[in-house]
Amino acid sequence: MSPGNVAVKKKTPPSSGDKQHPIGLDIGTANIVVYMDERTDAGVQMEANAFFTVPSMPNTRKILEDKSVRFFEKENCLHILGTAAETFSNILGGATRRPMENGLVNLREDDGIHVIQAILDPMLPEPVQKDHSLWFSVPGDPIDRQGAVIFNESIFKTYLKGRGYMPRPINEAMAVVMSELSDQHATGIGISMGGGMCNVCFSYLSIPAVTYSIQKGGDFIDQTVGRSVGESATKIKSIKEQALDLGVAPRNNIEHGLHAAYDDLFATLADSLAKGLRGSDNMPRLSQAVPIVLSGGTVLPPGSRERFETILNEIDLPIRIATVMQARDPLYATARGAYLMAAADES
């Protein structure tokens, strides 16, 4: 594997000569986030978890290196990594490929694990000391596929140990609770709506009582609408992220499709919440209402929180909800929660 130069959204991580901070890592279907210190630009990094393949030619390889675009070469192809892959896809009209699908490693992509490692390699600093604390997110078991996440956890734990870290897993939605509900004694429901799945955790005093996931998320929206209007999922994703407002009436066919797909996702999630909580033997018996906090890239469009709350209010839940709130920074909430757990290790 021949790596090119690194290109990340924020500054490169501290070198091993610097004081090393605890690390929180969120490896999502759509994005990878490394969280080390929220006080500096270099302390929070994000890359798209995607790649785009172009033919390998000497001039192309040199131009990519000059432009600081990260890639690796295999079998006469250049695999462009991360956020740059989405840029190339939008310009050239092809589709990006994902090393993960529905929240789990995509075993149909032969190079998937190598792509994730190639994206992660420059984002993580070399540990200053052996067994440096790093917490990383893992999804909850899909409601219809128990045990499906074990392979994911094993792959990433092996990679991180090989880098010299002491990796510890944390449920993705539990990390959201730790990040956003500390003033509520880590009691409430965290929901992480990512690209490949929605993760749910009902936490009581920082104990994850109920956890699960549904394998439906932002990618479902992009693909469903794309098929309906004859556009690529990558283009729909771009429109969703840049122009969609769920609080405003749709103005064209694409926006009509996005509104309908969001309603479908929110209804599925709300229904799963009622069934998941009611059917769990671990459901806390609380008299007080609890908050719900929403995170993940899928809730970034304005009006998402209000739309979900409206649909949730039509569902009979076995617990009272005090409020539905959005994470302070939905893209970073999971990684931040993992970071706080790593910081607690070192305090």
Query: Is 182 inside any structural domain?
Result: yes
β-pairing, 165-171 vs 132-138, is: parallel
Instruction: Report the C-alpha gap between 155 and 111 in whole angstroms.
Output: 14
Res 157: pLDDT: 95
Range of the domain at 126: 2-172
Claim to verify: residue 10 and residue 135 sit in the same structural domain: yes
At 293-315, the pLDDT tens digits run 999 999 999 999 999 999 999 99
Q: Does residue 61 surpass a pLDDT of 70?
A: yes
Claim to verify: residue 230 and residue 296 sit in the same structural domain: yes
Res 1: pLDDT: 37
Judge contact between 282 and 210, C-beta under 8 A: yes
Give the residue, 40 or 171, on which the prediction is more confident.
Answer: 171
Q: How many beta carbons lie within 10 A of that of residue 236, not counting itself?
A: 25
CA angle (141, 330, 219) in 5-degree steps: 55
β-pairing, 290-295 vs 321-326, is: parallel
Query: H or E segment at 165?
Result: strand 165-171
Domain CATH for 25: 3.30.420.40
**Buried b or exposed e, range 42-67, using 16+ CB within 10 angstroms:** bbbbbbbbbbbbbebeeeebeebeee
Query: Is 334 inside any structural domain?
Result: no
Claim to verify: residue 220 and residue 322 sit in the same structural domain: yes
Claim to verify: residue 24 and residue 168 sit in the same structural domain: yes
Claim to verify: residue 31 and residue 167 sit in the same structural domain: yes
At 196-243, the pLDDT tens digits run 999 999 999 999 999 999 999 999 999 999 999 999 888 899 899 999
Q: Which two tokens stand for residue 174?
A: 């539990």
Query: Is 243 inside any structural domain?
Result: yes
Q: Among residues of the chain, what percentage have pLDDT more than 90?
A: 69
At 333-344, the pLDDT tens digits run 999 999 999 999
Claim to verify: residue 49 and residue 197 sit in the same structural domain: no
Claim to verify: residue 166 and residue 313 sit in the same structural domain: no
Claim to verify: residue 6 and residue 153 sit in the same structural domain: yes
Residue where one domain finishes, among candidates 133, 153, 172: 172
Query: Is 133 inside any structural domain?
Result: yes
pTM for the whole structure: 0.90
Claim to verify: residue 23 and residue 143 sit in the same structural domain: yes
Q: Which two tokens stand for residue 324?
A: 């539905």
Instruction: Report the C-alpha gap between 320 and 110 in whole angstroms.
Output: 46
Q: How many beta carbons lie within 10 A of that of residue 268, not counting itself?
A: 15
Res 346: pLDDT: 75
Query: Is 341 inside any structural domain?
Result: no
Q: Does residue 323 surpass a pLDDT of 60?
A: yes
Least confident segment among 34-48, 111-125, 210-224, 238-252: 34-48
Average pLDDT score over residue span 185-194: 97
Q: What is the CA radius of gyration of the chain?
A: 20
Contacts of 274 (CB under 8 A, 6+ apart): 315, 316, 317, 318
At 96, the pLDDT band (50, 70, 90 cuts) reads: confident
286 φ, ψ to 5°?
-115, 140
Claim to verify: residue 165 and residue 284 sit in the same structural domain: no
Claim to verify: residue 77 and residue 6 sit in the same structural domain: yes
Instruction: Report the C-alpha gap between 226 and 243 in whole angstroms.
Output: 16
